[in-house]
Structure 1
Amino acid sequence: MELKKSKSLKIFLSVALFIVFSGIGFFAGKMGVSASSGMSKLSLLTLVLLFIPIFFIVIAIHEAGHASAGVWVKFEFKTYIVGPLMWEKDTKRWHFKWNKNINTAGGLVICVPVGTENLTKRFSIYAAGGPIASLLFTIITYGLYSLIPIQNNVGILRNILFIMAVLSLIIFISTAIPMRANGFSSDGARVMHLLNGGDTARFELLILKLITNASAGVRPKEINTRELNEAFILAQKIKAPFKVYLHSFFHQSEFDKGNIDKAEQHLMDYINEIESIPKGIRNIVWIDAAFFFAFAKKNLEQATIYWNKFEPAALIPKAQILATQAAINILKNENQLALTNIEAADKEISNMLDKGLGIALKEKLQNLKISASKLV
C-alpha cells in the first residue's frame, strides 16, 4: 500500500512540475517575444551572451540564502561554490580557487553544525534558506522589472531583470517542492521531513550530519559509528531509498580503520544491492570495488573485473579513478606509470567534494608511492 502511495505521489509531482514549468515557459516566452520585438540585434546578442552570468548570479543568490541561514543558526560557514568560482575557509581565513569539479558547478554551500542543541530545527532553517532567498529575489527582480518604464536606453536592463526573475522562480519551485531523486531529497523535502518529527526526521538529521561532516573533512574512520548504525536501522524501518548508500559509509569507515575483512563485507553488501542504485551512478560502486581489491586485497583478477565494469562519469572524482589505475598498475608491475598516476591523483584530491575521503585517499596514495618507488 505504501509503495502504491509513493508511486502515485511521484506521478502527481511529475505532472504538477510539468504543468507549472510549462506555464512559466509559456508566460516567459510570450513576454520575452513581446519585449524583444523592439530590441536591436546588438541588444539581443548582448542578452544571449549575458545569460550564463545571469544564471550564475541567480544560483549565487540561492546558495547565499543557505549560507545566511546557516550562519544565523550558528553553523560554521566553510565552503561557497558558484559555477567555476570557489571560496573555502580554513581555520583562519577564506581562500579563493577555481572550481574544477563539474558536479558542484551548479552551486554548493557547506555549513557545519556547531553544537548539538536544536539540530533538527537548525537544519530545517538551513535547508529553507535557499528557496526563501530565490523567492525573495524573484519578487525583487520582477518588481524592479515592472517599475522600469519601457525605453530603448533601459531595454537591456529590464530584460535582464525579467530573465533573473524567471530563472529564480524556476529554482525556487524546483527546490521548494518536496521530492526525492536517486534517494536524495530536495530542500523542501528535507524541511518537511525534519519538521514532521519521528523516525523520518531523525533519519534525515543523521544523513545530513554524515554528508556535512564528510564534506567538511571528517575522514571515514572518524565517523560516529553509533549514529551510522542508528541511521541504517531507521533506513530499514522507514524503507528509505538512501539506505543502500550507507553501505558505502560503512565500507569506507572500516577500510580507513584498516579492518579489511569488515570493509570487504560491507562492500559486498553494497554490490549485492546495486540494483537499487540508479544506473547512472552505479559507477561509484565499481570504482570503490576496483580500488579496494587492488589496494587492500592485492587481487589483480578481482580488481580488473570491477574496473572493467566501471565507466568514467562526471560524478566520479578523478582522484579516485587515477588512484585505482595506480593500484592496478603496481599489480601489473607498471611502476613508472603507477607513479605518474599517483602524482596526478594527488593533484586532484583538492577537487573532491568529500574532503574526509580525500584525506584518507591521500594517505593511501603515499603508501602506493612507496610501493611503486621500491620497484622502479
Structure 2
Amino acid sequence: MVWILQFILYAILGFILSSSIHELGHIITGITQGFNFYLFIAGPFGFKRNDKDKIVFYIEKNISLWGGLGATIPQNDDVNNFKKFGRVLLGGPITSIVVGIICLPIAIITKGLFLMLLGVMAISMGIACLIPARNGAFHTDGGRWLRMHKSESTRNVELAIWNLTQSAIINGNHKKLNYDEIKLLINDADTRTQYLGHFYAYHLYKDNNDLESCEKEKAELENLKTKVPKQVVSMFKID
C-alpha cells in the first residue's frame, strides 16, 4: 500500500515537473530569439508578467491550463517574429526529449524510480507534442510547425492567429486587430478556428465601442459553443 501511494505521488510530481521542463523549453527558446517572458503555468501554479511589467506568482484557477503553458512575447512587431515562433514551438518538445534521455540512464544506474518516471514522461511528452494532431484549441507544437510549412492556406491561418495574438498582447487591447485576418479564421473549415475568429472579432468591436456588431459576434460564439471542445470555450471566455 505504501509503495502504491509512493508511486502515485512520484507520478503526480513527475508529470508536473515534466510539464515544467517542456514549457521552460519553449520559454528559454523564446528568450534566445529575443522575446520577453510572458507566462508560465505548471499544475495550479503560475508566473506571469502583469500590467506593470512585473513578474508575479499566482494560482491558476482554469483547470484546463494545468497541463502546462509557457509563453514569450516579441518586444516589437517584426516580420521575422513568425519565423522565430516556429523555433519556439520546437523548443519545448526537443527540451523534453533531451532531458528524458539524460534522466533514463541515471535512473537505471541508481535504480531511482522517480527519475525513471520523469525520464519516461519527459520523452513521451516530447514525442507526443511533435506528432501532428489537434490539442484542444490548437494543434500540437509539431502540428503547428508543420502547418506553418505545409501549404499556403494552413500557413496563412497560423500566421493570422500569431499576428492577432501578438497585436493584442503588445498593444494591450484589440483595437488594432486586422479584420482580414479575423475573417480568415472565421471562414476556416474547422469550427475551433471559427470560434477563435469570432472571439477576436467580438473583442475588436468591443474595444472600438461597436456594440451592435459586438452583440452579433457574441451570438455567433453562443451558437458555436456546442460544436467545439469545452477547453476552447474555457480558454477563450467573453464577458
TM (normalized to structure 1)?
A: 0.55
Distance in 2 of aligned mates of 1:216 and 1:71: 16
Name the amino acid aligned to 2:34: K
Distance in 1 of aligned mates of 2:220 and 2:44: 37
Q: Which runs of 5+ in 2 are unaligned?
A: none
Q: 8 Å contact 2:132–2:140 — kept in the other structure?
A: yes
Aligned with 2:172 (options 194, 213, 218): 218
Q: Which runs of 5+ in 1 are unaligned?
A: 1-40, 149-154, 285-314, 317-352, 362-376
Indicate how the Cα distance of structure 1 residues 99 and 270 shifts in structure 2: closer, same or farther if over 3 A, else same. Answer: closer
1:114 counterpart residue number:
75
Distance in 2 of aligned mates of 1:210 and 1:196: 21
Q: Does residue 136 in structure 1 map to residue 136 in structure 2? A: no
Indicate how the Cα distance of structure 1 residues 212 and 165 shifts in structure 2: closer, same or farther if over 3 A, else same. Answer: farther
Indicate how the Cα distance of structure 1 residues 217 and 167 shifts in structure 2: closer, same or farther if over 3 A, else same. Answer: farther
Q: Does residue 145 in structure 1 map to residue 99 in structure 2? A: no
Aligned length: 236
2:8 counterpart residue number:
48
Q: 8 Å contact 2:186–2:198 — kept in the other structure?
A: no
1:103 counterpart residue number:
64
Name the amino acid aligned to 1:251: Y
Q: Over the residues paired in the alignment, what is the CA RMSD in angstroms?
A: 2.9
Q: Does residue 251 in structure 1 map to residue 202 in structure 2? A: yes
Q: Does residue 278 in structure 1 map to residue 232 in structure 2? A: no
Distance in 2 of aligned mates of 1:246 and 1:67: 26
Q: Does residue 179 in structure 1 map to residue 179 in structure 2? A: no
1:319 counterpart residue number:
none
In proportion to residue count, which structure has more helix?
1
Distance in 2 of aligned mates of 1:273 and 1:95: 34
Name the amino acid aligned to 2:164: L
Name the amino acid aligned to 2:206: F
Alignment of 1:159-238 (within 5 A): 159-181=113-135, 184-196=138-150, 198-211=152-165, 214=168, 218-220=172-174, 222-224=175-177, 226=178, 228-233=179-184, 236=187
Highest Rg: 1 or 2?
1
Post-superposition offset of 1:215: 6.2
Indicate how the Cα distance of structure 1 residues 55 and 183 shifts in structure 2: closer, same or farther if over 3 A, else same. Answer: closer
Name the amino acid aligned to 1:239: A
Q: 8 Å contact 2:136–2:229 — kept in the other structure?
A: no
Q: 8 Å contact 1:86–1:97 — kept in the other structure?
A: yes
Identity %: 23
